[in-house]
Amino acid sequence: MNSNAVKVACSSCNLRELCMPIGLSEADMERLDKLVATRRRVRRGNALFVAGERFSALYAIRTGFFKTCIATEDGRDQVTGFQMAGEIMGLDGIVSDAHTCNAIALEDAEVCVMPYGRIEEFSREVHALQKHIHKILSREIVREHGVMLLLGSMRAEERLAAFLLNLVQRLHARGFSQSELVLRMTREEIGSYLGLKLETISRTFSHFAEQGILHVRQRHIRIRDTEALRAIVNAQPR
Amino acid sequence: MNSNAVKVACSSCNLRELCMPIGLSEADMERLDKLVATRRRVRRGNALFVAGERFSALYAIRTGFFKTCIATEDGRDQVTGFQMAGEIMGLDGIVSDAHTCNAIALEDAEVCVMPYGRIEEFSREVHALQKHIHKILSREIVREHGVMLLLGSMRAEERLAAFLLNLVQRLHARGFSQSELVLRMTREEIGSYLGLKLETISRTFSHFAEQGILHVRQRHIRIRDTEALRAIVNAQPR
DNA sequence: CGACACCTTGAAGAGGTTCAAGAAATGTGG
DNA sequence: CCACATTTCTTGAACCTCTTCAAGGTGTCG
């Protein structure tokens, strides 16, 4: 961990535009380099944090892919999101000083640990960071509004189409293909996120494949007709 | 509006514990009294803000009841929440300097207008306010996780039971009855929020009434068996 | 009092779930 | 590196919950 520590520098990180405010002065940038205390590796299947754990830091994903999920005593389990490089996790912990969800790595991952105390301190001093933190929190609220719309008003095909378009769009912003992706999660996890059963996910994939909209081989997905997916999402809900 | 302005003082507001950080010094409290620029009245059915409108302030509800909802071009409409006295609205606008949802008053209301610039400024100076703002944002994220769980994994009866318990709990925190409430919204609005059709809401109300769990007369609801409602929410989801 | 919005209830239908079985991929240990 | 166990995925058939459509009832407000 310490051998990594020397390399920790947001100013030279290629994910900077995703994590950090833009247009900072040299001096401010240098300050913010101190935001990241350490990096932490998380092996596939392991938790970065779990519900109930004391909240102490936000995490920026450097590499890897996560899911966040909440579990209730009565055995319900809901995936609340999937996170990829450049995205921030742990926002749920601020309100009560404890995490309320589990963050599980779906592939080997590395995150930047940003102690919350430092974030508070620096964002009082660096105006742009304050704005940035507020925006990150607000963006998550808006994202979840979108999920509520999806869960509340879309049918299975629309949900899966919206999900895939969102995934490729985010992957594309990170330099990946617009039409090809490898799912990091199981059908069951997709189903949990979309409020559907894994069989429905599987069937809907097959259906899209039959129609020539997708090419599906296990977790390898190739989008053959993006416009068709868009049309499905924007279909009149009757 | 100006005749009201003199009365604007968080320090003497009986909703203070709901809106403001606790344990402030006299001096800090005095500062924060300046957070609220004005009050604004909104008549039932009118919007406090609408999607697309430029974001300039957060709003604390003094009196009245609101819904927030998003509408898509393709005619979908999703209620994303119901807000009551002491709750903060407008958080969705921070990320892109524009509101992304509509806030509609479901009864005549009055809100405190807190210009966002002042919030930024004061929260750099008053540590407790900074923390408080972060917590408000984080709380909204956690609330929405709960809605995702509801929409993603509960059936109609469970959703409505959870909804009612949440409503009375919040009303109770404001000094109202634990067992009696008057709904401010239509069946259709409840349905939109819960991802169900208005007929399903109506039927589920009737069903609860038949079972002796509720007494329902239009929008007047009396909860006759809180434990039964809790049991319904916590039922094993098979 | 009439117009309008809101609510209730019934019957038929659709979409998604459940249960079950088998196939494909992945991981593990010899 | 292969055999086996495990996990993940696919597909079919029956079922169930919620939706849709329709009609009538209740309440409210000018």
Q: Is the pLDDT of residue B2 over 60?
A: no
Mean pLDDT of A70-77: 89
Q: What is the pTM of this model?
A: 0.95
Q: DSSP letter string over A21-47?
A: -SS--HHHHHHHTTT--EEEEE-TT-E
CB A157 under 7 Å to nucleic chain C: yes
- Cβ atoms of B162 and B152 within 8 Å: the answer is no
**What's the CA B233/C1' C11 distance, rounded, in angstroms?**
29
**Selected residue of A145, A230, A234, A236 to mutate for chain B interface (largest B Cβ count, 10 A):** A145
Provide the chain A residues 144-203 that lie in CB contact (below 8 A) with chain B.
144-145, 147-149, 151-154, 192-195
Of B74, B131, B145, the CB nearest to A234: B74
Tell me how far apart the alpha carbons of residues A97 and B138 are, in angstroms, rounded to a whole number: 10
| Phi, psi of A124, deg, nearest 5 | -80, -25
CB B124 under 7 Å to nucleic chain D: no
B29-85 confidence digits (pLDDT tens): 888 888 998 999 999 999 999 999 999 999 999 999 999 999 988 888 999 999 999
Q: How far is CA B147 from CA A80, A153, A224, B65, B220, in A?
A: 10, 14, 34, 19, 24
Instruction: Among all protein residues, pick the one whose CA is nearest to the C1' atom of C26.
Output: A218
The mean predicted confidence, pLDDT, of chain B is 93
A170-183 confidence digits (pLDDT tens): 999 999 999 999 99
- Cβ atoms of B237 and B153 within 8 Å: the answer is yes
- Cβ atoms of B39 and B114 within 8 Å: the answer is no
Residue B19, both tokens? 């809106």
Name beta bridge partners: B180.
B222
Cβ partners under 8 Å of residue A169, min gap 6: none
Q: Which residues of A touch B102 (CB under 8 A)?
A: none
**What's the CA A70/C1' D27 distance, rounded, in angstroms?**
43
CB B200 under 7 Å to nucleic chain D: yes
Lowest mean pLDDT among A31-35, A82-86, A105-109, B140-144: A31-35
Name beta bridge partners: A220.
A182, A217
B172-189 confidence digits (pLDDT tens): 999 999 999 999 999 999
**Selected residue of B144, B188, B190, B201 to mutate for chain A interface (largest A Cβ count, 10 A):** B144
- Cβ atoms of B167 and B222 within 8 Å: the answer is no
Tell me how far apart the alpha carbons of residues B100 and B82 are, in angstroms, rounded to a whole number: 16
Q: Is the pLDDT of residue B13 over 90?
A: no
Contact B94 A137 (CB under 8 A): yes
The 3-state DSSP class for residue B49 equals strand
| Phi, psi of A218, deg, nearest 5 | 55, -120
Question: Quick one: what percent of chain A has pLDDT higher than 90?
Answer: 80
Tell me how far apart the alpha carbons of residues B35 and B73 are, in angstroms, rounded to a whole number: 36
Q: Which residues of A touch B162 (CB under 8 A)?
A: none
Of A73, A131, A148, the CB nearest to B151: A148
Q: Which residues of B touch A94 (CB under 8 A)?
A: 134-135, 137-138
Residue B140, both tokens? 């909204």
